[in-house]
Structure 1
Amino acid sequence: MSVSQMKLAIDDGSTNVKVSWIEHGSLKTIVSPNSFRKDWKSAALLRGQKVYNYTIGTTKYTYDATSDKALSTTHIEYQYDDLNLLAVHHALLQTGLPPQPVSIVVTLPITEYYHPDDCQKNEARIEAKRRNLTRDISLNKGELFKIVHVEVMPESLPAALSHLLNANCNEFTKSLVIDCGGTTLDMGIIVGEFDDVSAIYGNNEIGVSMVTDVARKALAAADSDSSYLVANELIKRRHDLDFVHSIVNDESKIPAILDKIETRIRELGDQVAYEAKKFAKHPNRVYLVGGGAPLIEDAIREAYATLGDRVVLIDNPQSALSREICLYHAEDTSVEIESPVLLEVGDE
């Protein structure tokens, strides 16, 4: 007799992994940052603090939020390598659920999920993603989840599903979904209430990593070498001067660091707006999702100024995709949606 496994929706992005699942009638979501380096950490000094030391094949890895030796995940190969396998298993452990056999739904950027020439599924890459996440991995002095089934969906477009169903769209409404993630920019045009996907676009060279790289270099120039995770935290909390001062050693460089970050954010917004207008000149609605959505919001509103409030920044845009995928696969539609839990630096 077969036993049904718990199903979790996972948007395994290059910067953060977003996991959503339904527990006791509530939709729960956690956002787990990616920050791994090779070799293991020693045991934690503080009681109750966890150390995550993993082994894949003969290679040892550890989760390290602040190390400047953290391995880069901001490349498209991340979708099929050790770091992706690490990130998904590490995120599952952050859910608070007991390790168990699970079925997962994960994502691929549009440019990886579809062939660019005919918009058909790229079965070879979809299968490569499945195989990667069913490889062996172990946790030193700990138990991992067993991934028994992997389903793969395209990024970005499902993130706007609930909004479209509640937006009084007709069969002629064209909605542009813009997903600005850590590594990729994905866009798609949805017709009606998801009646059809009329066009897709992806760019693997535009993403928040453009800002992250500048932030890391600026921090290094201020004697403050950091991990990608800390650099991304600085971008999010750049207006929190207490936090800024806490991670920058040469405080005389703070104005220059913040100026470089703001300049790069504007450049990112301009690039995304340019690509969006080239892809979809006159949509009826625009939905912004992904971790980079708040950074590009002003540029997109300016680019589509005539749409006014029909340019929508989706609530908690970073985790919108995993939530919507989870709801899409839910058997019970009467689900209470809880706010996502963001696992910040030091919450390990």
Structure 2
Amino acid sequence: MTLAKMKFAIDDGSTNVKISWIDKGVIQSITSPNSFRKDWKSAALLNNSKIFNYQIGATKYTFDATSDKALPTTHVAYQYDDLNLLSVHHALLQTGMKPGPISILVTLPIIEYYNAEDCQKNETNIERKKQNLMRDISLNKGELFEIIDIEVLPESLPAVLTTLMDSGVNEFTKSLVIDCGGTTLDMGVIVGEFEDVSAVYGNPEIGVSMVTDAVRKALAAADSDASYLVANELIKRRKDRDFVDDVINDVSKVDWVLGKIEDKITELGAAVAYEAKTFTKNPNRVYLVGGGALLIEQAIRDVYPSLGDKVILVPSPQEALSREICCYHAADEITETDVAVA
């Protein structure tokens, strides 16, 4: 029987895959963006440029950061399809660790992990996720990691494990966790230091993809067709004028594109704030995690004005989930002073 040499905690979101692992007693983390298209790339002209050409069954895929033909991952079905398998294996290769047999902890959105009617685990979806990641995949002229064991966990809530335990909450404190990801909005109410999870909620129609899709359309109208990865980078670096000018070809529409970005960010924030207030009217604390946390932070502060600094943006919110899962499942391997984030 093959034994796993390493364990990786993986938050395999639709926009980015976040991986954390323990290396020599220190926690390491990386974020790997998803941008794949069909067919293979030709060999790079520069020797130091790495080409990632994959094959699943009879279908060939390649990682392509800038192609406007990049396949969409902003849908819940991504959790069970070729693109999820590609994204996880591609992200593993970005860790710099030597490929070999491994075990992984991966995530599912709350609405996929739990049954809506009784909040119990959806064993069908959990098994479906496992089987998807156990499928065969190959890398042309390269070696992949061998996944031999998979555990599936719910998204968002574990991202605040350490934060809650260090925050001095009492056994009656209600903490609302808001995870705004690329595709879904996940929320949960935690009682005390994880004594209980009193409610969970997910919405597959609200996520950063609302902004990304609008930005791609705006870029196309400005003669600047772009991949999802480039569109997301523009959202993050929208105040960097040099980067903006490099991405947008039609200089007469630069301000118009930036205006579209800000309008959609406002719309996203309003949508998340409305859902949060409807789900939990008066929590004692609010924790923001996920890739969209920075975009919605002000809207959440505005909708819970009496909480003040008890609305908390978790450090490195995009990597928080993988990092916390890694820490929780390897608590005996590291000490608090050992922890470093790569």
Fold shared per TM-score above 0.5: yes
TM-score bucket of the superposed structures, by smaller chain: over 0.9
Secondary structure in structure 2 of the residue aligned to 1:120: coil
Alignment partner, residue 178 of structure 1: 178
- What is the alpha-carbon distance in structure 1 between the residues aligned to residue 322 and residue 219 of structure 2? 32
Do structure 1's residue 209 and structure 2's residue 209 form an aligned pair? yes
The one-letter amino acid paired with 2:167 is A
CA gap 1:124/1:323 in 2 versus in 1, 3 angstroms: same
Secondary structure in structure 1 of the residue aligned to 2:107: strand
Secondary structure in structure 2 of the residue aligned to 1:83: helix
Runs of 4+ in 1 over 4 A off after TM superposition: none
The one-letter amino acid paired with 1:337 is V
1:5 deviation in Å? 2.8
The one-letter amino acid paired with 1:192 is G
1:48 deviation in Å? 1.1
Secondary structure in structure 1 of the residue aligned to 2:27: strand
Do structure 1's residue 117 and structure 2's residue 107 form an aligned pair? no
1:251 deviation in Å? 1.0
User: What is the count of residue pairs matched by the alignment?
Assistant: 340
Alignment partner, residue 334 of structure 1: 335
1:25 deviation in Å? 1.2
Alignment partner, residue 297 of structure 1: 297
Deviations 1:176-200 (A, max 9, x none): 0000000000000000000000000
1:337 deviation in Å? 2.7
- What is the alpha-carbon distance in structure 2 between the residues aligned to residue 334 and residue 244 of structure 1? 42
Deviations 1:40-81 (A, max 9, x none): 000011111100000000000000000000000000000000
- Could you tell me whether the CA contact under 8 Å between 2:66 and 2:229 is conserved in 1? yes
1:220 deviation in Å? 0.3
Alignment partner, residue 282 of structure 1: 282
Alignment partner, residue 155 of structure 2: 155
- Could you tell me whether the CA contact under 8 Å between 2:182 and 2:292 is conserved in 1? yes
- Note the residue ranges of structure 2 that are not aligned, 5 or more in a row: none
Secondary structure in structure 2 of the residue aligned to 1:301: helix
1:4 deviation in Å? 4.4
Q: How does 1:309-320 map to 2 (within 5 A)?
A: 309-320=309-320
Alignment partner, residue 188 of structure 1: 188
1:91 deviation in Å? 0.1
- Could you tell me whether the CA contact under 8 Å between 2:4 and 2:148 is conserved in 1? no
Secondary structure in structure 1 of the residue aligned to 2:50: coil
Alignment partner, residue 167 of structure 1: 167
CA gap 1:226/1:218 in 2 versus in 1, 3 angstroms: same
- What is the alpha-carbon distance in structure 1 between the residues aligned to residue 215 and residue 315 of structure 2? 26
The one-letter amino acid paired with 1:13 is G
- What is the alpha-carbon distance in structure 1 between the residues aligned to residue 47 and residue 329 of structure 2? 39
1:339 deviation in Å? 3.0
Secondary structure in structure 2 of the residue aligned to 1:206: coil
Alignment partner, residue 23 of structure 2: 23
The one-letter amino acid paired with 2:22 is I
The one-letter amino acid paired with 2:178 is I
- What is the alpha-carbon distance in structure 2 between the residues aligned to residue 13 and residue 337 of structure 1? 24
Alignment partner, residue 254 of structure 1: 254
- Could you tell me whether the CA contact under 8 Å between 2:93 and 2:99 is conserved in 1? yes
1:229 deviation in Å? 0.2
1:2 deviation in Å? 6.5
Q: How does 1:74-85 map to 2 (within 5 A)?
A: 74-85=74-85
Please provide the CA RMSD for this pair.
Answer: 0.9
1:19 deviation in Å? 0.3
The one-letter amino acid paired with 1:20 is S
Secondary structure in structure 2 of the residue aligned to 1:318: coil
CA gap 1:201/1:318 in 2 versus in 1, 3 angstroms: same
Q: How does 1:115-154 map to 2 (within 5 A)?
A: 115-154=115-154
The one-letter amino acid paired with 2:62 is T
Deviations 1:151-200 (A, max 9, x none): 00000000011110011111100000000000000000000000000000
- What is the alpha-carbon distance in structure 2 between the residues aligned to residue 163 and residue 62 of structure 1? 38
- Could you tell me whether the CA contact under 8 Å between 2:8 and 2:326 is conserved in 1? yes
- Could you tell me whether the CA contact under 8 Å between 2:138 and 2:144 is conserved in 1? yes
- Could you tell me whether the CA contact under 8 Å between 2:269 and 2:299 is conserved in 1? yes
The one-letter amino acid paired with 1:22 is I
- What is the alpha-carbon distance in structure 2 between the residues aligned to residue 57 and residue 236 of structure 1? 36
The one-letter amino acid paired with 1:191 is V
The one-letter amino acid paired with 1:27 is I
- Note the residue ranges of structure 1 that are not aligned, 5 or more in a row: 341-348
